[in-house]
Every structure is written in structure tokens, then in C-alpha cells.
Structure 1
Amino acid sequence: MKAPISRRAFLRDTTLLTLAGLVPGPMRNALAAPSAALRLGPALVFSYETLTERAKALAKKPHTPPPRPLPQVVQRIDYEAWGQIRYRTESALFAEGPGLYPATFFHVGQFFQKSVKIHVLENGQAREILYNNDYFVMPKDSIAHKLSDKTGFAGFRLQESRNREDWRTQDWIAFLGASYFRAIGALNQYGLSARGIIVDAAEPKPEEFPDFTEFFIEETDNEGDPVHVYALLDGPSLTGAYHFAIKRTEGVVQDIEAQLFLRKDVGRLGFAPLTSMYWFSETEKRRLEDWRPEVHDSDGLAIWTGGGERLWRPLVNPSYPVTSSFVDKSPKGFGLLQRDRVFEDYLDGVNYERRPSLWVEPLEDWGAGAVQLVELPTDDEIHDNIVAYWRPAEPAKVGNTYRLRYRLHWLADEPYPAAVARCVATRIGRGGQPGKPRPKGVYKFSVEFAGAALDPLWGDTVKAEPVITTSSGTVGGAFMEPIPGTKRWRAIFDLTPQGGEPVELRLYIRGNGDALTETWLYQFRPPAGG
């Protein structure tokens, strides 16, 4: 075991090395000791501008994949073995301060085989945190003991404030794998993830997964102030520099600035991508597939269009990959939400009812493009099968550069609730009437809404009706009614598809000429055989 580096030795070390994008400079402002147990590299001057120049320069060179330390060893660190490797919190970055949110680090393993460089940043100077096996508690027979001190980390997470007694066991945001990161919401539960960028998702060729290859962590010592994280992105088709200003609020709020540089043409470039899991819900009743009523991290895509319309698209687990585009200009926001918060709708101890909703808020005009939703088939909850992102209208060509500014809200609900009522459930069954022969190939929809905008309906002072449009087929028997024992209203109609092609449906409730609800969208795929 190597001797821990002391504060005296830390401040004495003024050896400076030149690294691409990190400029050596004098130690005018010495870094505070982040942890007595951590080994650190030499100090180098850092700024977001130099990181951006580094990404720009990398884009002009062939892509070099991130290092994969001893693949023959790392491949044997399977899920079970990886779960037995625990980072020692006494070795956390800023375990004793002055940073308020100590950082701990993830070990490489079978599912996270690439290593990343992680630096501590203070007063404009960065020092790499050097990997050491001694930072981790692991079984004596763990294959991970065979890894050298040059292995590196797979990623990192921020623990809760040191002012909390439970900070050693509670974390609130994590960066791990490719360009993935995730945070807890207002209900203190992890769920869906975000990514730095989407490259060629749902294209005929394999999707590309660029990597955050280096991180720079700049801590705060004040509650309410953001932690600043900078990241270098590198992939076969593009590079990028990212700045995350992350606040621990009721949930987590991230202000993100990114500058991207394309090495190659990209068929499908997606900004602010969100990744989630949807297996089934009340919309799709699957017999004998699982004992629980519902299983999903998110149950719908919400969009606030540039024109001010509120859209809600319930998620679907399709039988084949499907990409849906919602064309827009200057969107106000979109997100994958978990609206169902009733435990009895899940009956599971993994807290699906507490999974966060994630909302994307552009902080500048994104122009013309589309919110795209990719839904992949899944037969288990272990697979993320839902992706949503913004795709700009202009083709992504080699040499293009992009500057993005947006905010991510990890909360229980969307941060800017609409004045209109919202959709809370979508139910589908056989068409026709109970007690009568059910016509083949006819399907009944019940779309439920709730919200104060519907309150006037209870006093019969507003004449309301469902407004339904369909891309094909015919709609009949439409009406609306209150749901007994609730404050909800539902719109009911029968759909007779024409042929076996998917049907795009659109519905909202209109009262006295005004929209009382958000607009419900749904893509119905008639089952084979009717």
C-alpha cells in the first residue's frame, strides 16, 4: 500500500507537465487538499475555452478510442463481481472538505470497460486523480486485484452534502459509461438517464456512442451554489466540450453548455437526448408476461411546442423499432415524464412510482427541427428501450460546429405545468358495447384527463366535447363523461382502422371554443388478425 499524499507534499509539488488543452502555469493559487488519501498528478492551468480548443483540434485528427485497461481481466469483472467492489468514502474527493459534495469513483468492469481521466479543479488549475487499487474495498479473490495503478476510473458520482450525516451512503448524480449521466429527482430515486449526444440512433447502420473521456470537477462549499463539471467528448464522428453547472435543489437542475465539432457526416444527430425504459402500463395489458400491473421508468413524452401547444404522447413497447417525429420550431421544452405516482399501480419494491421525470428546457432558440421519439421492443425491464431528443432540421455535415445551451430538470413533474388539464391514463380494449357481439377489428379508447381546467364541467356551465382526428380509418361513438369517485373526465371513442398500417390519433377536450386539455397523441398499431 502506497503512503497517502500529505497536504504539505501536495502544496510542495509544483512540477508542471504539458498536456493538450491544459496550459502549465505558476502555482499562484494553491489547490486546497481534496483528500489526504488521494494521489494527484501535477497542476495545470485549465479553462473551458482551452477545453473547447482542444476538442476543436481533436476533430481534425483521426479518432483514437479511449483506453481499455487489461481487457482479459476487466472482461471477467461481471455484474456480480463489479457490485462487490466498493469505493472507500474516506478516500472521497473532499471527504473532509472544503468541497461540499464529496466525489467517489466507479471501478471499471465488464459493462464499463473504458477508463476516463478525472481531475479536481480549483482556482483555474487542474490535477488528475490517479487510480489506486487501495481506494476500493474488494474481496481478496477479486480479479480486479490484477489491475495496475494506471487503470483509471470508469466514472464518478457526487455524494450528498457533507452537512448530512448520511452523505457516505447517499449520492445524487453520476456520470458512468459513454456519455451517459443520471440524477435523482425530487423523490430521491434514480431512474432514466441523459446523454451528451445522439449519433445515428435508429439508423440502418450501428449507433455510435461517443465517450466522455475526461472530467474536471470544480466543487462549491456553499449550499445552493452549483458544482461545475467540465467534460471532453470524443467519438468517431465528432468531438465536444461540455460544461455542466449542477445544482442540488428539490431534485437536480443542470445548466449545460456544449460546443460540438463534426469529424464526419452524421445521418441522425440528436441534441439533449434522454434514455428511459417502458415495458408495459395500463395502456397495454399483457397476459401472463409479468405479475405486476405496470413496469416503466417513464410513461410518456411531453412537448411544449414553440407555438405554445402542450402535447402528451403515451409511450409504447412496439413489436418492431419505431421512430416518431414531432416537427417544431423554437420548442419551449420536452421531456420523458413519470406521471403515475400510485404505488398500487406497480406493487414493487424498486420504487417505480418515485422515478424522476426529466425535462429539457432550451436556453436559446433552437430553430427548426423535430423532437424525435425512438421506441424499441423489449421483453424485460433491464433494457432501456426509449430515447427522446431534438434533431435539427439542417443536415449534420463534416466540419459543422454547434453551440448548445439548455437546462435539465430532474424533478417529480415538469417544471412549468400547463394551465390546461393533463392526460393521466390511456386505456384500450375491444370496441362495441358490453353485452352485445363485439365487432371484429374495432377498438375502444378511453383517454383520461385531470386538472383544474376541467372544474367548470362539474357545474354544467361549459359545453365540452372531445375533438378527435385520425390519419386513417374511422372514429365513431365519441363522447365524454366524469369518472365516478374521481375528479377525472374521460373521452371515449371507437376506432376502426383501415388495413394493418399504424394509425396516428390526436385528441383534446374543447369547451366553449377553447382547449381545456393538452393534446393527446397516440400511434396505434392494429394487432395481426384484428
Structure 2
Amino acid sequence: MNRRMFMKASMAFATLSGMSGLSTLFSQAAWAEDGIADGSAKRFDFDVLKKMAADMAKQAYGGAPAPLPETLATLTPQAYNEIQYDANHSLWNGIDNRQLDVQFFHVGMGFKRRIRMFSVDGASREAREIHFRPELFNYNNAHVDTKQLEGKTDLGFAGFRAFKKPELAKRDIVSFLGASYFRAVDETFQYGLSARGVAIDTFSNGKEEFPDFTAFWFETPKAEDTTFVVYTLLDGPSCTGAFKFTIHCEEKRVVMEVENHIYARKDIQQLGISPMTTMFSCGNNERRMCDTIHPQIHDSDRLAMWTGSGEWICRPLNNPQRLTFNAYQDENPRGFGMLQLNHDFQDYQDVIGWYNKRPSLWVEPVGKWGKGAINLMEIPTTGETLDNIVCFWQPAEAIKAGSEHSFSYKLYWSGLPPVRSGLARVNATRTGMGGFPEGWAPGEHYPNVWARRFAVDFVGGDLKAAAPKGIEPVINVTSGTLKQVEILYVEPIDGYRILFDWYPNSDSVEPVNMRLFLRTKDETLSETWLYQYFPPPPDKRKYVDDRVMTAG
């Protein structure tokens, strides 16, 4: 499962042939005086889009799109990257002293979905289509035969990206590209994990689907605005959808207010709301794939959850040896997200991926979401090119054909989540050889008994004030035995480290679920640490001395 391919290419195919209210006719006239939108004016608002999506859901799914011209279909990634949108033809280029602007991505290579784009006048609510034409792009050294594109105004676009002053036409801060994937940055201007419109049957008996965003409508902002509104239509084999994104391009982060209405074409086994896709190759806790010059490689280091009951949970991510899926039951969650909290370059040493700059993504539900579960799927990966982590909210109610479901939420793209508890938080998780005191080695004066050591660091909160009362680590595991439990104050991080060794009590290789939090006699001091450990097979539970010593 190449998640980066899904992020880079539209993998779910659909056509707009069944779109009620969207004419397939277009004007061949010159560009409109007020910008690049050259289509006929049509009334548009969110109610129009919702009706359009509802009507489409009653029709059969259109299937795969028409083939692209050969010169586009055969583009290499290098050639595709040579195609650049001409900033002089950007969507809001005609607005003086504008704070925002939008440019479009060219179709080609794996980007086969022909997405239609519309400009909406906020006052009149009239929408005009923006048709493809080669003069909107600079083809540079892509070696595209533009003669094959002449008159192909129905090619549409592959997606869009948004810019904010003072980086207009230099560095984008929001990108929608491939199926229903989108991303945003914080003040570092470094992209990281992705979000999606919906997830369909990610971990179920059915085949996973990747519905497409097939059309976008952009409300024209005022010159001074740093917020813009875009509407989009979702289409796929199992559902359609109407989305409204209100995108706030703030100084140090991007915040998206999302309202969606999902219309089921057929029964859906697993509907994922506000899905996130990220990458975890290796970190402090999982070093199996860290045989590189980089100490850590990941877009995100943990799943964070603020439950409906008020519990704060930290679940460090894994790169497991086999696909794993966990569902964390909840009711009316207060928030959850994929976080990248370690921003120290020394811990990554990466001047290509810049993982120390990657943003976190926090989901804040608006209103009551009811019962359901935060689902987490972790896929084995051999390197950083694969997005191997998926997370989303799955409502408990069954999704039946003909039903409608609505969800509202906010997405915060920032270095740190917008909310934090007053409790001590997990700073880092480390694992390694156990069964002997720190500073010694297995077999040196101690029995060579295999065990796995865990070190969980907590910082912040009221740990120092609570220390005289006695800090108690509360640890539970689903199998095995815990020994050598210690609590140490660690001055460099001004926090506390909980050390314990896990010993197996059987030959089972089933995952061991671990749970840890700190307390005094009368109060909880920390968020809850959840972890899933995969014991090695019995024949691997031994320490191997691979030293070779020869007489000189």
C-alpha cells in the first residue's frame, strides 16, 4: 500500500456526467474582464451543492474518466514537476494588494481526475467556470506537445494550491491534490501529513475506496481578507458529498472549518470522518528501520486523544512487522490528532525531509458526534516514501444506502495542538534490552534472561509539586510480567522517567497492550500513555554476543 502514491495521484475514478445543474457546455469566448473565469454565470450556494450531491447519490457511479492526451499520460514525475502555473493568471490576480491567491495544478501523469473549477462572486452568488487552456501554464522543460492540448478546454485541472502574502506565488500554504487529499503548513512552510475528505473501507472486508473531489467553487475574498471559502463536490462508488471549507490563513498556522454532508449510494462497512494519513518509519521507540544516518524518520510521532470523558491519551506510533488495526471507543470526542511534537533538528539530521519542521494536525469536533471510535491503522513500511499510518473517526451507526450524514469540525495545522491539558505529558518513549541494571550488560554478573525495557518520560504539569507526596506509576499490561519498575528525576528535561522491564510468560507473539499514568494518592498527574508492543518469536528472545576476538 503506497500511501504517498495515493497522496500524489487520484486513485478513485469518477466522472461529472451525472452532475445535476452543471452544464457540460462551455464558452469559447475571451476571458472575462474580472479574471480567468470564462464560463456562463450560474447561481450557486451551499444549498445548491448539497442538492447536487444528493441527486448524484441516487444515480449510478460514473466510473473511470476519459483517457488523457498521450503527451500528458506519459509524463515522468520529473517532467510533470516542470509544469508551473503562470502566476500572472492566478485566480485573484486582478485584486490589488491582495492577501491571498490561488493557482491550479495541471492534469497529467497519475493525476487523471479532470476537476472543474469555478469562481463565485460573494455578493451576487454567481459562479463562472474556469476552463483549461495551455496559456495558463509555463511548460518549461516538460516537453509537452501543446498542440495535443489545443481546444481541450474540458481537461480541467488536477487540484489547486493557495498562497498568502508575503509569499504570493513563491511558497504555497494549502494544497488540494489527488483524490480527496489535502494538506496545509504552519509558519515553517513545510508540508507533512495529509488529510482526506472521507475514508471508505480502509480496514474492512471490502476494497478500500478513494473518492475524488471533482469540482471546486471559490468565493472571491476582499483584498484584505486572510480567510477564503471553497466548496467542493465529492464523488465515489459508495457515496457523494458536499463540503464547505472556511480556510483561515493565520500568521503561524492554518485553521480550516469543515462542514460536510455525506450521501450514501450503497451500504458502507466503514466510513471514516476527518481521516489523516501520515508516515512513521522509525523513532525512539521503534528503531527496526533506522539503519540510516538519521536518528528518527517520521511525519508524526503520536496519536493524541482528548476523550468525551475528559481523559488525555498519548499513543506513540509504530512501524509494525505486520499490519495492525486498533479502535479506541469513545462518545462525543473533544479532539484527536496526529502530532509531531519533537522539533529538534538534532533528533532527525535530515536536510531533505526536514522532519523537525513538519506540522501537527488536530481535529476539533463541532457539536456532538455521538458514539464511535477513533481508528488507527499502522502498515509496515521499509522507508520514508510510504505513508503507512491512517487515523479517522468511525461513527457507530450503520451507514445504509440512501442515508445522509453530516459532520462539522475544525482542523488545526500547527507545530503544537491548539489545546493542552494541565497534566504532565509524555515527552518520549524508548525501548531496548532489559533484564539487567542500567550501566551493565546482559550476562555480566546477571542471568542472561531475555526482557524488554521501556522508558517513558513525562514533563510539565505539577510533577515537582507532587514529588514530596510520592509519585506513583500505575502500569497495566495485557500479558507478561513487569519487574524493575523505577521512577527517576531527569534534570536535562526537568521531568520524570518511568523505567520498567517486561518479561514474557508465554511463547505468544500477539501484541501486548500497555497502559501507564502517574498519580499521587488523591489525584491524577499525567496523561495516559498507551502502547502496543509486539514480542519476538521465542527463538529470537536471547542476547547474542557477536564480538570476534582473536589472539594478536
Scaled by the length of structure 1, the TM-score of the pair is 0.90
Please tell me whether residue 177 in structure 1 is matched to residue 178 in structure 2.
yes
1:449 aligned counterpart, secondary structure: strand
Letter in 1 for 2:197: G
Aligned to 2:255, what secondary structure does the other structure show? strand
Q: CA deviation at 1:382?
A: 1.3
Match of 2:307 in 1: 305
- 1:479 paired residue number: 486
Q: What code does the residue aligned with 1:170 have?
A: R
Kept after mapping to 2: 8 A contact 1:22/1:51: no
Residues 287 and 333 of structure 1: is their aligned pair in 2 closer, same or farther, counting only changes over 3 Å? Answer: closer
- 1:306 Cα deviation from its structure 2 partner: 0.2
Q: Work out whether residues 22 and 46 of structure 1, in 8 Å CA contact, stay in contact via their aligned partners in 2.
A: no
Task: Tell me which residue corresponds to 2:228.
Answer: 227
For 1:407 and 1:219, the matched residues in 2 are separated by 22
2:267 alignment partner in structure 1 = 265
Corresponding position of 2:498: 491
How far did residue 33 of structure 1 move? Answer: 5.0
> Which residue of structure 1 lines up, in the alignment, with residue 410 of structure 2?
407
Is residue 2:87 matched to residue 1:89? yes
Provide the C-alpha distance between the structure 2 equivalents of 1:224 and 1:524, rounded to a whole number of angstroms: 49
Q: Take 1:526 and 1:111, find their aligned partners in 2: how far apart are those partners? A: 40
Instruction: For residue 140 of structure 1, report the CA deviation from its aligned partner.
Output: 5.8
- The aligned counterpart of 1:44 is 42
2:258 is matched with: 256
Q: 1:258 to 1:336 in 2, by over 3 A?
A: same
CA shift, 1:318, in A, is 1.0
Report if aligned partners of 1:69, 1:114 keep a CA contact under 8 Å in 2: no
Residues 507, 33 of structure 1: CA spacing in aligned structure 2 closer, same or farther, 3 A cutoff?
A: farther
Instruction: Tell me by how many angstroms 1:150 deviates.
Output: 2.6
Q: 1:271 to 1:464 in 2, by over 3 A?
A: same
| Equivalent position of 1:217 in the other structure | 218
The answer on whether the counterparts of 1:100 and 1:220 sit within 8 Å (CA) in structure 2 is no
Q: Report what 1:524 is aligned to.
A: 533
- Structure 1 match to 2:3: none
**Letter in structure 1 aligned against 2:102:** A
SS of structure 2 residue aligned to 1:134: helix
2:479 maps to a residue whose letter is S
For the structure 1 residues 40 and 65, does the alpha-carbon distance in structure 2 shift closer, same or farther, using more than 3 Å as the test?
A: farther
What residue number does 2:243 align with? Answer: 242
Does the CA contact (< 8 Å) of 1:326 and 1:372 recur in 2? Answer: yes
Task: Please name the residue that 1:107 is paired with.
Answer: 106
Q: 1:151 aligns with which of 146, 151, 155?
A: 155
**Residue range with higher mean Cα deviation, 181-190 or 334-343:** 181-190
Report the Cα distance in structure 2 between the residues aligned to 1:243 and 1:85, rounded to whole angstroms. Answer: 29
User: RMSD in angstroms over aligned alpha carbons?
Assistant: 2.0
| Cα drift, residue 293 of structure 1 | 0.5
Match of 2:477 among 470, 474, 498: 470
- Cα distance in 2 for partners of 1:184, 1:440 equals 48
Residues 515 and 299 (structure 1), Cα distance of their counterparts in 2 relative to 1, 3 Å cut: same
Contact persistence 1:94–1:100 (CA under 8 A): no
The answer to whether the 8 A contact 1:191-1:276 is kept is yes
Contact preservation (8 Å) 2:515, 2:528: yes
CA shift for structure 1 position 452: 3.4
Residues 279 and 144 from structure 1, CA distance in 2 versus in 1: closer, same or farther, beyond 3 angstroms? Answer: farther
Contact 1:71–1:113, Cα closer than 8 Å, also in 2 = no
Q: Distance in 1 between matches of 2:417 and 2:220?
A: 28
Q: Is the 8 A contact 1:155 1:175 kept in 2?
A: yes
1:89-488 equivalences in 2 (<5 Å): 89-97=87-95, 100-122=99-121, 123=123, 124-139=125-140, 142-143=143-144, 145=146, 146-147=148-149, 148-161=152-165, 164=166, 166-221=167-222, 223=224, 226-249=227-250, 250-286=252-288, 289-349=291-351, 350-433=353-436, 434-437=440-443, 439-457=448-466, 460-488=467-495
CA-CA distance at 1:287 after TM superposition: 6.7
Amino acid in the other structure paired with 1:281? G
Q: Please give the secondary structure, in 1, of the residue aligned with 2:153.
A: coil
Residues in 1 aligned to 2:37 and 2:366: alpha-carbon distance in whole angstroms: 38
SS in 2 for 1:82: helix
- The gaps in structure 1 that reach 5 residues or longer are 1-17, 24-30
Task: Identify the residue that residue 10 of structure 1 maps to in structure 2.
Answer: none
Deviations 1:293-341 (A, max 9, x none): 1111100000000000000000001111111111011100100000111
State the TM-score, normalizing by the size of structure 2: 0.87
The residue identity in structure 1 corresponding to 2:232 is: A
CA contact (8 A) 1:34 1:95 kept: no
Give, as a single letter, the amino acid of the residue that structure 1 aligns with 2:54.
K
- Structure 1 residue 34: Cα displacement: 4.7
Deviations 1:356-405 (A, max 9, x none): 10000000101001000011111121111111100011122112210111
Aligned residues: 499
Contact 1:103 1:159 (8 Å CA) reproduced: yes
Q: How far apart are residue 513 of structure 1 and its match?
A: 2.5
- The range that moved more, 448-457 or 135-144, is 135-144
Separation in 1 of the partners of 2:205 and 2:370? Answer: 27
Distance change (3 Å), C-alpha of 1:411 and 1:524:
same
Aligned-pair CA distance for 1:71: 5.8
**8 A Cα contact 1:186 1:356, kept in partner:** no
| Letter aligned with residue 254 of structure 1 | M
Q: Could you say if the C-alpha distance between residues 217 and 347 of structure 1 is closer, same or farther in structure 2, counting changes exceeding 3 Å?
A: same
Give the Å deviation of 1:486: 2.5
Q: Tell me the distance in 2 between the aligned counterparts of 1:256 and 1:103.
A: 19
Query: Structure 1 residues 201-210 or 422-431, which shifts more?
Result: 201-210
**Alpha-carbon spacing, 1:439–1:32, altered in 2? closer, same or farther (3 Å):** farther
* Percent of residue pairs identical: 38
What is the CA distance between 1:254 and its match in structure 2?
0.6
Structure 1 distance, partners of 2:53, 2:243, is 10
DSSP 3-state at the match of 1:515: coil
Q: Give structure 2 stretches of 5+ with no counterpart.
A: 1-17, 24-30, 542-552
Q: How far does the alpha carbon of each residue in 1:388-438 deviate from its partner, in whole angstroms, 9 at most, with x for none?
A: 100011122112210111110111111111110111111111111124536
Name the CA distance, whole Å, in 1 between partners of 2:133 and 2:70: 19
Find the aligned partners of 1:431 and 1:423 in 2 and give their Cα distance: 21
Instruction: Give the 4+ runs in structure 1 shifted more than 6 A.
Output: none
Rounded Cα–Cα distance in structure 2 between residues aligned with 1:199 and 1:183: 22
Is this contact kept in 1: 2:374–2:391, CA < 8 A? Answer: yes
Structure 1 residue 20 corresponds to structure 2 residue 20: yes
Find the residue that maps to 1:461 and give its secondary structure.
Answer: helix
Q: 1:287 to 1:439 in 2, by over 3 A?
A: farther
* Structure 1 residues 84 and 225: CA distance shift in structure 2, 3 A: closer
SS at match of 1:341: coil
Tell me, what secondary structure is at the counterpart of 2:535? coil
Query: What one-letter code is carried by the residue in structure 2 that aligns with 1:118?
Result: M
Q: Alignment partner of 2:493: what SS?
A: coil
